[in-house]
Structure 1
Amino acid sequence: MDISLLFSMTDRVSGLAGPSAMHPESWRLGARVETWARGRGLVLGDPDTSPLGRARCERLAARVFPTAELGAVELFARWLTWALALDDALDHPPLAVSGSGVHALYDDLTRAMRRGHARPGARPLEAALVELWAETSADMSREWRRRFMLQLEAHRDGCAEESVNRRIRHVPAEAEFGPLRRRACGPFLYHLAEPVLGVELPPRLLRTPRWKTLADSVADAVAWSNDLASHDLEADRGDVHDLPAVLAAAHGLDAPRAAALVADRIADRLEDAWTAARRLPDMLDRLELTVAQRAAAAQVVKVLLDTPRAHLDWLAESGRYQPGTGPEPHRLDALASLR
């Protein structure tokens, strides 16, 4: 499978029609994020020899936030780098087949966040997370911090469930896959739009069905687009936690037909997102939000609606899902801090 199928959707999905904008200082961003990732031990050796090194997270950050302050965009790019480093650890043994291992790793991570410092000798994932959390949460409310922690727990639970599925060789049913994939695909990342933009959304807005439809639809479209890009690599290692594999198993489809069906599902979810967004103004009136709250909501909605196309353009320029040019360096040992 290749992502050309996704670009063929741009004629029929209005939200994907035009290329995403790019932050004017993206070139500076790349150097800064690479220096940070190397300094924290997340990227080792030649970047071109590892999926994380080839990912170019700064390009995605620069496309999602093309007009934000550079330091804030860099913070988001660092979070993306950390999230992909965590993803690499969770997708490979021993964590890939150990739900208890996933919970143990997350216990260490969240305890470090609450303490405000990593343990002596902590490995890169823990130390980098403490640094990111301190910088991100400093100006955010207790309610936002609680919400973010809940999303980390949702991610933990989704990844642990995937690990169990791999161990018992269970292919998720179509009905259960959507919510599972949403939990396992970094749901906490979407809540970073607020600190990047310097705003905070009122809790009563986030609890409304319309906002949930918007947020979930965007998350699904991004996750399923990623599934198309990563399917071949995941199939090579026997992983079935992507939508093409799930639909192929559920409907007896070959790879091309499964991919085409995934594209249809993405188009449907993007239409759901835009429909929900168009209906938001009436809901904002009913909630009697302040002018500042309405402005914050408008900024975050724009980021959400722009993200699927930004992610698509990033997939085209990232090397994360392509074979490396040489031997891969030693993978980040996320479990070393548990020994």
Structure 2
Amino acid sequence: MPFESTGCNPGIQATKQAAWEWAADNDLVLSPVAQKKMIRTRPELWISLIFPAASQEHLDLFCQWLFWAFLVDDEFDDGPAGRDPHVCEEAIARLVDVLDGTSAPNGPMEHALDGLMVRTCEGRSLRWVRQFRRDTVGWLWTYYAEAVDRAAGHVPSTADFVKHRRDSVAMQPFLDLHEITAGIDLPESARSLPAYIALRNAVADHSGLCNDICSFEKEAMLGYEHNTVRLIQRDRGGTLQEAVDEAGIWLARIADRVQRAEKELVEEIEAARIDGPARAALERCVQDYRGLVRGDFDYHARAERYTRPDLMEVDEQHSLSRNFAA
């Protein structure tokens, strides 16, 4: 890992308490198994490592987004919705309608999403809201793609899955949230710079592969094939450890891509003669994204969701949880 740690936000314990209180206030009831899993997941740790300098207000908001996202992830990865494309499609479509403001929320998850969107988008530019909406919707629909794959008995190629994982890891929306705590608002021209796109993609790819390396044991127990390590093993025909080793080499190469994109972005800023707030915003991204990559890496080495697959319990659900009930 070539990037140095930027530390952990001192507000971590306060944001943990705020997240559980927010869940209770929004009637997000977790089963005993789901509650233990969320405790092991430690969303407050990830958000505090990713945003070590965020204000308490921003840290709390971002952690509540992450808490909500982990509920989504567990519902569609481990629950019955992930095995029934029709149920999955209907649930995600409702969430997207709430996100777009075209449908009144029903059920705790939709009401929680509605509240998060109102708080998040207040004072943000239309261009930022569009970007955040695209990235969040893109992430949500990856669960439907995986549900259809499972129902059809399909396993994606490694190359196709790498592209899919860029959205499914959900790092892109949090790169958007970074702009809030950084006090910046990238113009469309800056978002369109090839090197900026490459930088964001490399950060997301690093997070996705790091997550796959750390979660392949848990996912193998569930028969979950949408994991880069599992796909490498299938393609290469070697042992699982050989696949893990190969994935580690890929991870180092992605870190190199981050550094290369940083340099190219500096060159493109000069070539395009970008100055003023747009230049300052891009330079802030270059400055902070390394810390995001390192924070994400450190989180996966510390959260029991990934370090203790032996603690995994299967929550025997036969329908959507009550949090998703309309």
Fold in common (TM above 0.5): yes
Matching of residues 6-155 of structure 1 within 5 Å = 10=1, 14-15=2-3, 18-42=4-28, 44=30, 49-115=35-101, 118-119=104-105, 122-155=106-139
C-alpha contact (below 8 Å) 2:109/2:324 kept by paired residues: no
Deviation at 1:34, TM superposition (A): 2.2
Q: Equivalent residue for 2:278?
A: 293
Residue 42 of structure 1: SS of its match in structure 2? coil
Q: Is the 8 A contact 1:214 1:272 kept in 2?
A: yes
Residue of 150, 153, 156 corresponding to 1:172: 156
TM-superposed CA distance for 1:305, in Å, is 1.7
Distance 1:327 1:162, change over 3 A: closer
The Cα of 1:145 is off from its aligned counterpart by 1.2
The amino acid that maps onto 1:37 is: A
- Which one of the candidate residues 295, 298, 303 is aligned to 2:288? 303
Identity of aligned residues (%): 24
Q: Report deviation, 1:49.
A: 4.7
Query: Residue 219 of structure 2 corresponds to which residue in structure 1?
Result: 234
Alpha-carbon shift at residue 46 of structure 1 (Å): 5.8
From the superposition, tell whether residues 58 and 177 of structure 1 become closer, same or farther in structure 2 (CA, over 3 Å): same
Hey, what's the Cα distance between the residues in 2 that align with 1:168 and 1:295? Answer: 48
**Which of these residues, 157, 163, 183, is aligned with residue 147 of structure 2?**
163
Distance 2:185 2:138 in 1: 21
Residues 56 and 118 of structure 1: is their aligned pair in 2 closer, same or farther, counting only changes over 3 Å? farther
**Matching residue's letter, 2:83:** V
SS of 2:53's equivalent in the other structure is coil
2:108–2:324 Cα contact (<8 Å) kept: no
Aligned-pair distance for 1:260? 0.5
Which moves more between the two structures, 280-289 or 140-149?
280-289
Per the alignment, in what secondary structure is the counterpart of residue 320 of structure 1?
Answer: helix
Q: Secondary structure at the match of 1:139?
A: coil
Distance 1:116 1:50 in 2: 35
Structure 1 unaligned regions, length at least 5: 1-9
Q: Would the aligned equivalents of 1:64 and 1:303 in 2 still touch at CA under 8 Å?
A: no
Q: CA deviation at 1:93?
A: 3.8
> 1:98–1:167: 8 Å Cα contact kept in structure 2?
yes
Report the Cα distance in structure 2 between the residues aligned to 1:25 and 1:156, rounded to whole angstroms: 29
**How far apart, CA to CA, are the structure 2 residues paired with 1:290 and 1:258?**
45
RMSD (Å), alpha carbons: 2.4
AA matched with 1:299: R
Per the alignment, in what secondary structure is the counterpart of residue 235 of structure 1?
helix
Cα distance in structure 1, aligned partners of 2:313 and 2:87? 30
Instruction: Provide closer, same or farther for how the CA distance between residues 24 and 335 of structure 1 changes in structure 2, counting only shifts above 3 A.
Output: closer
The answer to whether the aligner puts 1:259 opposite 2:219 as a matched pair is no
Residue in structure 2 matching 1:182, options 166, 171, 188: 166
**What TM-score comes out, normalization by structure 2 length?**
0.90
* Residues 101 and 182 of structure 1: CA distance in aligned 2, closer, same or farther (over 3 Å): farther
Structure 1's 77 and 93: CA in aligned 2 closer, same or farther, altered over 3 A?
A: closer
> Which position in structure 2 is the counterpart of 1:282?
267
SS at match of 2:305: coil
Measure, in 2, the Cα distance between the counterparts of 1:325 and 1:266. Answer: 26
Counterparts of 2:224 and 2:148 in 1: how far apart (Å)?
12
Distance 1:166 1:50, change over 3 A: farther
Contact 2:230 2:243 in 1 (8 A): yes
TM-score (norm 1): 0.87
> CA–CA distance in 1 between the matches of 2:223 and 2:145?
16
